[in-house]
Amino acid sequence: MLAYAGQGTVTEGPQIRSFMQRGEAAITALVEFSTKFGRDLKAGAPQYAAFLDIVGADARASQAAVQLVLAQSAISSQIVDNLNASIHLRALLTDLFLLDEALKKTGG
């Protein structure tokens, strides 16, 4: 998405919509996973369960932003640049990096 955002196109590039649709599907799966897995962890690992609630909330906010972009008749590089700058998408990515590191440290 960064390369596309830097192109300065006002019309839609050939692959950006399918890329965004795959991203939206991945975020949807992440929302479902964080809800189910977080519920399963409530008793045994409440700190992970609480964090997965945050991951789910950030994923839902990111999903809404991606869906807004997908609803446009043409996805310009400017709107993708704005999406890349979205605090919601950045928060979700940071959540996933943090969770990844935490799980590496615990062997999870």
For residue 107, pLDDT beyond 70: no
**Backbone φ and ψ of 2, nearest 5°:** -65, -40
27-54 pLDDT per residue, tens:
999 999 888 887 777 777 888 888 999 9
Give pTM, 2 decimals.
0.84
Give pLDDT, residue 103: 83
pLDDT in tens, 60-101: 999 999 999 999 999 998 999 999 999 999 999 999 999 889
Name the nearest CA neighbour of 95 among 68, 46, 57, 39. 57
CA distance 101 to 34: 17
- Mean pLDDT, all residues of the chain: 88
- Higher pLDDT: 86 or 4? It is 86
How much is the pLDDT for 108? 56
Domain ranges for the chain: 2-6+15-106
